[in-house]
Amino acid sequence: MGPTPSLPDTLKRLEALVQERNLRRSELLDPQELAARTALPEDTVRLLLRGGEAPPDTVNDRVRARIRSLADAYLARTGVRMSELANRISRQLGVSAFWARQVCTGEKVPSVELLHGLVEFFGVEGGEAFFTVPSAEALHRALLPVLASLQPGQDGPDPGPDPLAAVLSGHGDVRGVALRRARDLPEERWHVLSATLNALLELDEREGDA
């Protein structure tokens, strides 16, 4: 087994593939989209993509900032007020709405148990580590599916079985609608989504066999 690749290694490989395949870099390495996926500040994502280092922080800083980022995105996406978001978290996690509001605004750091509940509430990938890993690692995790989608054998005229077919069957809710819309994505982003779904399905199979 070779050494574990780092963010600089992955960025170099992605840059090489962009050049080799004449791809649109802005489609694969969109700072705004990556910031949304990682709950990192867009300025930090841009800095890391340029090969810079993120500003120093603590684990508590990361947790507060990323929860606040997810909460802000939730409010913007749903149009609800902070009070309603706090009430929803309160009902799902069994905590007070006052505490939930303080967590969403970055004033409080949740316990590990409650952080697990927030993982489920916001639907983030990677478990509690989504909130705690350093910025460079968080971005690296988001870029690995992008790289996987561009590796040899991932492209070609025949896309193979539709990886969304099994997911869509039996799901008439908003997730199904969102996945159906994903079929209209540009080819590069479709490859990224496909690789991500396949990786998640493989992970679920491994956990089921454990």
How does pLDDT run across 155-202, given as a tens digit for each residue? 443 444 444 444 433 333 344 435 444 544 555 555 556 556 655 555
Going from the N-terminus, what domains does the chain have, and what CATH number goes with each? 7-54+134-209 (no CATH), 59-132 (1.10.260)
Question: How far apart are alpha carbons 52 and 184 in whole angstroms?
Answer: 34
Return the pLDDT at 194. Answer: 59
Question: How far apart are alpha carbons 118 and 67 in whole angstroms?
Answer: 8
3-state DSSP of the chain: CCCCCCHHHHHHHHHHHHHHHCCCHHHHCCHHHHHHHHCCCHHHHHHHHCCCCCCCCCHHHHHHHHHHHHHHHHHHHHCCCHHHHHHHHHHHHCCCHHHHHHHHCCCCCCCHHHHHHHHHHHCCCCCCHHHHCCHHHHHHHHHHHHHHHHCCCCCCCCCCCCCCHHHHCCCCCHHHHHHHHHCCCCHHHHHHHHHHHHHHHHHHHHHHHC
Question: How far apart are alpha carbons 99 and 109 in whole angstroms?
Answer: 10
Q: Provide Rg for the chain, Cα atoms.
A: 18
pTM above 0.85, yes or no: no
Residue (of 131, 146, 153, 151) closest to 59 by Cα position: 131
In sequence order, what are the residues at sequence separation of 6 or more whose Cβ sits closer than 8 angstroms to the Cβ of residue 159?
194
Spacing of C-alpha 165 from chain mean position: 22
Return the pLDDT at 173. Answer: 38
Mean pLDDT per block of 10 residues along the chain (210 residues) reads 76 90 84 95 95 94 97 96 97 96 96 94 94 96 90 48 40 42 50 58 54
Return the pLDDT at 169. Answer: 38
**Tokens at 164, concatenated:** 């969304």
